[in-house]
C-alpha cells in the first residue's frame, strides 16, 4: 500500500487552532493522552456553546454501528456552519469497513472524530487509505523513557513554569510513561507553586509527589556513574526500608539503558568530545553526555559488557527464572555490588 501522510500532534493542533478542519480524524494508538487532547479540543472549540445542543453528537463504539455513524455524519448542521460527531472507543465498532462508502464523498460540514485506543487499524485495510485521502489518520504512540524529561520541560514551560534537569529525571523515573498520570502530577506541582516563584525544584517534587529528593533512582544512577559506593549503599538502604519508594522493576531498565548507551559510547570515533558523544548517542545536548564521559573514565569496556550481562541475569531472576527464593531487594543489592566492585 502507499505511504500514509505524515501527521503529528503539533501539526494537527496547529491546524485546529487556525480553524482548518478535516472531514474525518481517525485517532488511534496506545497513548490515550494525545487522542483525548485532540478530541477534547475539537469538542470544546469547533462549535460555539449555543450550537452544540443540536450539532454535537457523542457515540460510544460498543453502542453504535458503522451505519448509524454514517447516518449521523450525513446530517446537515442546524443554524451552524458545521456539526461535530465524536465516536469514543471506536475500536469496539463492528463492521467499521461500512464507513468506506461515506468516505468517498464526506460532508465538508461534518467533523467526524473517531477515537480508537489501545491499538491501531490494520494499515492494509482499504478504509485506512480512504481516511488518509480525505482526512487525518493519526497514530498516538507511547513516549520512550528518554523522551519524558523534554515532555515535562515543554509542558511546564507552556504553563509559565521552569524545571531543572534533576527534577525532570526524578519525576520521569518515578511516574513513568503513563502521560495521563504524569500530567496530573505536573498539575499538582503547578498548583502548589507560589506566584512569585514558578520553578520546580527537587524539594517541591518531594513535597508534592512524594519522591525523596536525596533517595531516588536519579541519585542512584548518579552514584553508580560516579562509582560512589557509600552514596549508592545509602540509597539502597533507604529503598530497602521504604519498599514503596522504588523497586527493582523500575531500576533495571534505567541501569540497562545507561550501560547499553555507555557501551555504544566506547565506539564513538571522538569519544573525548561531549558534543560528538551526544551526537553519537542521539542525546538532546552535550550536557546530557557528561554522565557517559564520566562512565568511560570509571568503567572499562569489558566491565560494561559484564554489567549488561549481569543486569539481564538479574532481570530473569526477578521474574522467577532460576531463582527459587531470593527476594527482589537482595537481587538488586547483589547487582549494585557487582557493578561497583
Under the banding of pLDDT at 50, 70 and 90, the label for residue 12 is very high
- pLDDT: which is higher, 78 or 332: 78
Question: Nearest to residue 242, comparing CAs of 208, 206, 276?
Answer: 206
Is 219 within 8 Å of 237 (Cβ atoms)? no
Q: Return the pLDDT at 22.
A: 95
Instruction: Give the up-direction half-sphere exposure of residue 73: CA atoms within 13 A in the CB hemisphere.
Output: 27
Q: Which of 4, 231, 281 is nearest to 122 (CA)?
A: 4
To 10 degrees, what angle do helices 179-192 and 165-175 make?
A: 130
- 45 has a pLDDT exceeding 60: yes
Whole-Å CA distances, 114 to 49, 180, 189:
22, 20, 33
pLDDT digits (tens, 9 = 90+) for 56-71: 999 999 899 999 999 9
**For residue 94, which of 60, 45, 144 has the smallest C-alpha distance?**
60
Extract the C-alpha cell encoding 246.
522504588
Query: In residues, how long is the chain?
Result: 341
pLDDT tens digits for range 71-105: 999 999 999 999 999 999 999 998 888 898 899 89
What pTM was computed for the model?
Answer: 0.72
Helices (H), the chain: 9-17, 32-45, 49-55, 66-73, 100-103, 126-134, 148-158, 165-175, 179-192, 202-209, 217-225, 229-241, 248-265, 274-280, 290-298, 301-318, 328-340
Q: Which CATH fold topology does 9-140 show?
A: Rossmann fold (3.40.50)
Q: What is the pLDDT of residue 28?
A: 95
Cell of 94: 463492528
Q: What is the pLDDT of residue 57?
A: 95
240-284 tens-digit pLDDT = 777 666 666 667 888 888 999 999 999 999 988 888 988 898 887
CATH class, range 145-209: mainly alpha
Mean pLDDT over 18-23 rounds to 95
pLDDT at residue 2 above 60?
A: no
User: Domain locations in the chain?
Assistant: 9-140, 145-209, 217-340
For the chain, the average pLDDT equals 88
> What is the chain's Cα-based Rg?
25
308, three cell numbers? 549488561
> Own/partner pairs for 178-182, CB < 8 Å, 24+ apart?
179/31, 179/32, 179/33, 179/34, 179/143, 179/151, 180/32, 180/33, 180/36, 182/148, 182/151, 182/152
Q: Is 203 exposed, middle or buried (0-12, 13-18, 19+ CB in 10 A)?
A: exposed
The CATH topology of domain 217-340 is: Zinc Finger, Delta Prime; domain 3 (1.20.272)
Backbone angles phi, psi at 305, to 5 degrees: -65, -40
pLDDT for residue 20 is more than 90: yes
Per-residue pLDDT at 204 = 87
Amino acid at each position: 500500500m502507499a505511504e500514509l501522510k505524515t501527521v503529528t500532534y503539533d501539526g494537527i493542533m496547529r491546524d485546529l487552532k487556525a480553524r482548518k478542519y478535516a472531514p474525518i480524524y481517525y485517532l488511534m494508538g496506545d497513548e490515550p493522552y494525545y487522542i483525548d487532547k485532540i478530541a477534547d479540543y475539537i469538542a470544546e472549540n469547533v462549535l460555539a456553546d449555543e450550537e452544540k445542543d443540536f450539532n454535537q453528537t457523542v457515540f460510544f463504539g460498543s453502542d453504535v454501528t458503522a451505519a448509524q455513524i454514517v447516518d449521523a455524519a450525513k446530517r446537515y448542521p442546524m443554524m451552524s456552519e458545521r456539526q461535530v460527531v465524536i465516536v469514543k472507543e471506536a475500536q469496539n465498532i463492528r463492521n467499521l469497513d461500512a464507513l468506506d462508502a461515506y468516505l468517498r464523498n464526506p460532508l465538508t460540514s461534518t467533523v467526524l472524530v473517531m477515537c480508537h485506543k489501545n491499538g491501531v487499524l490494520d494499515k492494509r485495510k482499504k478504509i485506512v487509505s480512504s481516511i488518509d485521502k480525505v482526512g487525518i489518520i493519526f497514530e498516538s504512540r507511547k513516549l520512550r523513557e528518554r523522551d519524558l524529561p523534554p515532555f515535562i520541560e515543554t509542558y511546564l514551560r507552556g504553563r509559565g513554569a521552569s524545571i531543572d534537569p534533576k527534577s525532570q529525571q526524578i519525576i520521569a523515573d518515578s511516574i513513568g510513561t503513563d502521560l495521563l498520570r504524569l500530567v496530573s502530577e505536573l498539575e499538582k506541582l503547578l498548583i502548589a507553586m507560589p506566584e512569585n516563584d514558578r520553578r520546580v525544584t527537587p524539594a517541591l517534587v518531594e513535597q508534592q509527589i512524594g519522591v525523596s529528593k536525596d533517595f531516588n533512582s536519579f541519585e542512584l544512577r548518579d552514584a553508580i556513574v560516579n562509582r560512589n559506593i557509600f552514596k549508592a549503599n545509602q540509597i539502597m538502604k533507604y529503598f530497602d526500608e521504604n519498599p514503596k519508594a522504588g523497586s527493582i522493576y523500575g531500576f533495571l531498565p534505567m541501569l540497562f539503558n545507561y550501560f547499553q548507551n555507555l557501551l555504544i559510547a566506547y565506539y564513538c570515533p571522538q569519544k573525548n568530545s561531549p558534543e560528538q558523544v551526544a551526537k553519537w548517542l542521539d542525546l538532546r545536548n552535550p550536557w546530557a553526555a557528561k554522565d557517559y564521559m564520566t562512565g568511560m573514565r570509571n568503567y572499562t569496556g569489558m566491565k560494561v559488557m559484564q554489567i549488561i550481562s549481569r543486569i539481564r541475569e538479574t532481570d530473569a531472576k526477578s521474574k522467577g527464572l532460576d531463582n527459587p527464593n531470593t527476594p527482589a531487594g537482595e537481587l538488586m543489592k547483589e547487582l549494585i555490588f557487582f557493578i561497583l566492585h
